[in-house]
Structure 1
């Protein structure tokens, strides 16, 4: 399996769980935050939904300079809008995970703020990081949802909120 095929497989597998988690965000809780230093639900969920586009950025650019590329997050008010954004981002990211781009994976990619270089990685490492960030922030969203008493979907098996898990617990 090529690296591109592996990344596509990972993106497709993780998108199932990510979609389930994003679908649980209550419309009335987009402004909620668990702590003053934490992102609110809107910012966190939007970030998760946009992360697949980093695949395209990694494969079509050589750097991201925060000083010269202002970021404007998509403003969402509903879970329907959130899921639509996620689906568009998936299409965008998948569009670059093609055999022709395999040769680009070892090219260097730089993250900077003007003259300050934060990191230099390969484009393949940036894709791996984007996939890891989806998983990391999805888990963070799971904590938010738990604090809001929203049932959590299973990720790599059932969650404590799913009947399958609860019945297995009773039988044990």
Structure 2
């Protein structure tokens, strides 16, 4: 069974839901956080928006070393900028999935910080983890939106705000 078409379909399906969630994020609340240990709304949403780019990173490199490429969170000023960030990451993911070959999916990919190795996994697992992280953080965003009294869109069916 070929995995690339499955990953591509999953990306397109989940992208629609992610767009709905991010489109409801009010820019005037970007600095809000539900708890001091929690990410701010901007940190969470820009992380969600950038996650699809990890698929292209996994397919085109052998890993990521934070010691040589330190993470720099993106700062946005508007919801439109946030959505544009998502669209760019999705376009990168789609292009990478459409041009990759199945045989690369079993090659190892390493996440590290210098000598500290966080994980070495096959590239197909990095793609799955990236999709799972998107779903996880989107659900987290749903809690943020609820706490801000912003109606939550449905994910896999209607939400309580959309009725049953």
- TM-score, normalising length from structure 1? 0.92
Shift of 1:46: 0.3
RMSD: 1.0
What pairs up with 1:1-172 in 2 under 5 angstroms? 2-98=2-98, 100-162=100-162, 164-165=163-164
Number of residue-to-residue matches in the alignment: 164
Cα distance in structure 1, aligned partners of 2:99 and 2:88: 21
Runs of 4+ residues deviating >6 angstroms = none
Structure 1, unpaired ranges of 5+: 166-172
- TM-score, normalising length from structure 2? 0.97
Cα distance in structure 2, aligned partners of 1:112 and 1:153: 36
Larger Rg: 1
Shift of 1:103: 1.3
Cα distance in structure 1, aligned partners of 2:52 and 2:118: 21
Q: Secondary structure of 1:98's partner?
A: helix
